Structure 1
Amino acid sequence: MAFSAQRGANVRLPAEVNRILFVRNLPFKISSEEMYDLFGKYGPVRQIRLGTAQDTRGTAFVVYEDIFDAKAACDHLSGFNIMGRYLIVLYFSPTKQTKKTDLAAKEAEINEMKAKYGED
């Protein structure tokens, strides 16, 4: 732990950097063990969630213990070829997720108002 604190002593990271990575373009046949082997090279991994539903296959969330380990993994594994697929590794951004739901709610509200006041 002291080593992690030293690494980040006077380092400013970009705002989008966080401990949670979103990985796309994974081979469908990759196992959790292979994921831990690959991402564990960059530091302790707290959790990996592989997408199993039809619309989430080929994706995963990787949660690191330390933000600097997540940054190293993102930097080194973006574009990495595994089983013939090139990985897309991004920082997870919960604000992007909420913006999508907020937009849908606002559109519904606007449509409701239009219907109420007879606008097309």
Structure 2
Amino acid sequence: MIGKRDKKQNSTHFENNEVEDEKTEMLSGSKSNMKKAGECIQKIKTSAKLDSRCKSWRLIVRNLPFKTTQEDLQTIFGDIGPFTEIVLPKCKDKRFQNSCAGFAFIQFWKRQDAVKAIEKLNMSEVFGRKIAIDWALSKDTYETAVHEGLLS
């Protein structure tokens, strides 16, 4: 897992690179019991399909205390199941440069882990604040839902 700073979005990304490491290891031939090339290619295709579907297993966590860190979120959500990414946007106000913006996005590998996170952690307390966890929607989907009166 690697943390990266994204200056454009003023946020920190935390990604799980286990699949990438495994792909590299298989393709380099460093495994003594390397599987047939066809199996390796199939595994890479499968992980690519997972990568493309993972966006649907993305959650938004709101009402986070401003002192929340990547490590805090890793600890809280790590017990639920493996995740591919944590995005913790930073506060845009220069007075609070090192503070989080009060929300985060967490992307799980498996849908059932995302569901479990909502069921187990929604309305739980983090540093004295009740957090709200929901499915993250794309901006277009959200705006359409608001326009149609499905969301307020």
Q: Same fold (TM over 0.5)?
A: yes
State the match for 2:80 in structure 1: 42
Give the equivalent residue in structure 1 for 2:64: 26
Note the 1:62-73 alignment, pairs <5 A. Answer: 62-73=106-117
Partner SS for 1:42 = coil
Match of 2:34 in 1: none
**1:42 partner letter:** I
Whole-angstrom distance in 2 between the partners of 1:67 and 1:24: 20
- The number of equivalent residue pairs is 84
Residue segments in structure 1 that go unaligned for 5+ positions in a row: 1-17, 104-120
- Cα distance per residue 1:60-111 (max 9 Å; x no partner): 00000111000000111110011010000000122xx11538x9xxxxxxxx
Residue type of the partner of 2:65?
A: P
Counterpart residue identity of residue 78, structure 1: N
Which residue does 2:45 correspond to in 1? none
| C-alpha separation in 2, matches of 1:51 and 1:26 | 11
Question: Is 1:46–1:65's contact at 8 Å kept on the other side of the alignment?
Answer: yes
| Secondary structure in structure 1 of the residue aligned to 2:117 | helix
2:87 and 2:65 mapped to 1: Cα distance? 14
CA distance in 2, matches of 1:26, 1:53: 12
Partners of 2:82 and 2:68 lie apart in 1 by 20
Larger Cα Rg: Structure 1 or Structure 2?
1
TM-score, with normalisation over the residues of structure 1?
Answer: 0.63
Percent sequence identity over aligned pairs: 31
Gaps of 5+ in 2: 1-55, 94-99, 147-152
Counterpart of 1:85, as a letter, is R
Question: What are the Cα deviations for residues 36-66 of structure 1, in whole angstroms up to 9, with x where unaligned?
Answer: 1101111001110002033870000000011
Partner of 2:140: 98
Kindly indicate whether the alpha-carbon contact (under 8 Å) linking 1:25 and 1:88 is maintained by their aligned counterparts in 2: yes
**Where has structure 1 moved over 4 Å in runs of 4 or more?**
none
